[in-house]
A and B are shown apart, each in its own frame.
Chain A
C-alpha cells in the first residue's frame, strides 16, 4: 500500500469498513459461482473477483446521493455503493424478491434508492448514462456527482470520446473510472489499445487523468477523493485508470486460453487486495487475528443469509411478464 490512511483523513473504522466491503464482494461472488454451478444462480456470470479494491476505493469517496453507472461486471460496484446483498442474490437466482423482480439478472441490476442506477450488458453504455446523471447533478442537484465504471473494453468504445469531450466542455461533475483488467474477453490491452493505457487520453480531452494501482484500495480512494472534490466544486470531470486484474475468466466457463496459469497465479499471489489490506491494517492499526476471524464470520453469515433469502423467493413467473413495459 502506497498511501498513509491518516494522511487521507481515514480512521481505523474506515479501514475496517473498506476491508469488509472488499471481503463481502469476494465472498458474495464466490458463493454466486458455487450456486451457479448447481444451476441455482442463472445467467452469464462475469465475476469481479480480484478487482474489489477498485469499486471499494471509488465508492468510499461517494455518498448515497451520488450516482453510479456500471458494467456487466457489476456486483462489486453494487455492493460498494451499499446495495443490500439479499435482493442482489435473489436477482441472480431469477426470483421475484430480487432487486428487479427477476427481470434484470446479473448484468442489468439497478437500485436507484442508493444511487446505483444501472448495470449494463452493452459495453460502454455506462459512460453516456453517467454523463447524463452528471448533467442532472449540475442542473438540478448541485453538489452531487456521477461515476461511470467501464473496463478496458469499454474504454475503446466511441462513447468515451463523445461523452468525456462533452462533459469536459460542459464541466459536468463526472468521474470516469476505467477498470483496466488487461483483457476484453480474450483481447489484451497491448493488442487493442494505443499506448497500452487510457489515462493519457484525458489530457487531450482537457481533464485530469491519473493511473493508479487498482488493487490498492487507499491509492484508489485517494484518486477518487480528489476527483470527487473537484467535481463537487464545479470544476468538471476527471479520469481515473485503475490498473487491476480479474482472477477468474471473462465469464464462468471461459477456458482462458489467452493467458497462462502462471500469470494468473502470480497476480493472485502478489496482487490480492484482501491480503495487502490485512497486512496494512495489522502493521498500522493493530488489526488482530481475532478481529479478522470475526469480520470474516460476519461476512460469511451475511452471504449465507443472502443465499437463503434468494432461495426462499419465488421464481419470477411468466404470469406477470407483460406488465411494466411502460411507466
Chain B
C-alpha cells in the first residue's frame, strides 16, 4: 500500500489504462503541459506524447463532441471539462449524442468515453465554479454517473469507467484532490454500481457520496460520543444505483439521512428518498431526512459558501433528530 493523493490516483489510473490500451487518449483544456489545473493529468504528456494527451482550444462543445465522435468509431477518449459548471457549453453533446447513440442505433454504435469533470464548493470560486450538478446527468437515461470520495475509489472506478463500453460521467470534487489515502501498488478495479460502507453502524444510515462522505465520517465520530452508532454508506456510483446496499443498511438501522452538496430541491437525494419510501417503507422507524445544499446559487464569501451545504454540525443534529424516538 502507498499513501497518495486523490489527484495522483486519477493520474495513475489514466496512465495505467493508456499503457494497456492505445485507444485510450486524454483531451481537454490545459491537460497536457501543466497536467491540468488540478494536476490530475500530470505526467501523462511526458509518457504518452501530444497525440494521446491533447491540449484543446477553450471549446467545450468541441472537446465533448469530438471525444464522442471518436468514441463512436472505437476510440476510448477521456475528455476533461475543467469545471462541471461549463457543461452548459456542451450539454447537447451529453444529452443527445453520448446518452442516446447506443439505444437509438439499436446497439450498432456505442460511445465508450469518459467525461471527467470536477465540482463542489470550498475555494470561494463563486456561483459558476462551485456547483454540484450530478442530478443533471442522472436525469438522462443512457449515462453512467460515478462520483468517488477517496483516492482508492477514484483510481479503481476510473479504470473501470475507461473500460466500460458506455458513456460515463466521472465527477471529481475540487476539495478532494489533495486528500490522501491508501492505494494498492498492484492493479485493481472497482465495479460500477457497487456502493461501499465507509463506516459500519447500527442506529442510522447516512447515505452520501463525494466530499460529503468525509463530513459524514466526522459526524459519525461525534455521534459515537453521544451514543449513536451511525453507518456511512458511500454510493460511489449514482447510475447504476446500488439499491441492494441501501436496502441492507436501511433494513438494519431503520433510520435514514441522505446528504449531498447539490441543492436539495430535485437533487439526487430526492430519487433515493423516493426509492426507499417505495420499497422499504415498512423498515423505517423515522421519516427520511435530507441534509443537502440550499436552493440558491453558491455564494462566494466563506461562511455562506459553507453554510449553504451540509456541515458536520448539521449532520450530527439531523442524526440526533431522527434517533429521538429511541434507538434499538
Given known contacts A129-B72, A131-B66, A326-B142, is B61 in contact with A117 (CB within 8 Å)?
no
In the complex, what's the smallest C-beta–C-beta distance from B110 to chain A, in angstroms?
A: 4
B165 located at the interface, meaning its Cβ lies under 8 Å from any Cβ of chain A in the complex: yes
B186 at the interface (CB under 8 A from A): no
Considering only CB atoms and an 8 Å cut-off, how many residues of chain B contact the other chain? 43
- Nearest-neighbour CB distance to chain B for A320, whole angstroms, equals 10
Question: Which B residues are in CB contact (< 8 Å) with A146?
Answer: 69
Residues of B close to A158: CB separation below 8 A: 61
Chain A residues near B166: list those with CB within 8 A.
326-327
Cα distance A110–B107 in the bound complex, in angstroms: 10
Which chain B residue has the least Cβ–Cβ distance from A129?
B69
Q: Which A residues are CB-close (under 8 A) to B100?
A: 108
A132 to B70, CA, bound (A): 4
Give Cα A134–Cα B100 distance, bound, in whole angstroms.
21
Number of A residues whose C-beta is below 8 Å from B?
43
B61 touches A159 (CB 8 A): yes
Q: Is the interface of A mostly helix, strand, loop or mixed?
A: helix
The answer for the CA separation of A169 and B104 in the assembled complex, in Å, is 32
Judge if A325 is at the interface, Cβ distance under 8 Å: yes
Among B23, B65, B66, B73, point to the contact of A67 (Cβ < 8 A). Answer: B73
Chain A residues closer than 8 Å to B40, beta-carbon distance: none
Beta-carbon contact of B106 and A100 below 8 Å: yes
Q: Mark B25-51, 1 if CB is under 8 A from A, else 0.
A: 100000000000000000000000001
Q: Does A31 reach chain B (CB closer than 8 Å)? A: no
Contact B66 A100 (CB under 8 A): no
- A326 and B102 in contact (CB under 8 A), knowing A100-B108, A129-B97, A165-B57? yes
Partner of A133, one of B54, B73, B93, B96: B73
Of the candidates B23, B67, B110, B144, the one whose C-beta lies within 8 Å of that of A132 is B67
Q: Which residues of B contact A (CB under 8 A)?
A: 23, 25, 51-52, 54, 56-57, 59, 61-62, 64-75, 92-93, 96-97, 100-110, 112, 141-142, 144, 165-166
Which 10 pairs show the lowest CB-CB distances between chains A and B?
A132-B69, A128-B65, A136-B73, A327-B165, A162-B59, A162-B62, A101-B106, A327-B110, A129-B69, A132-B70
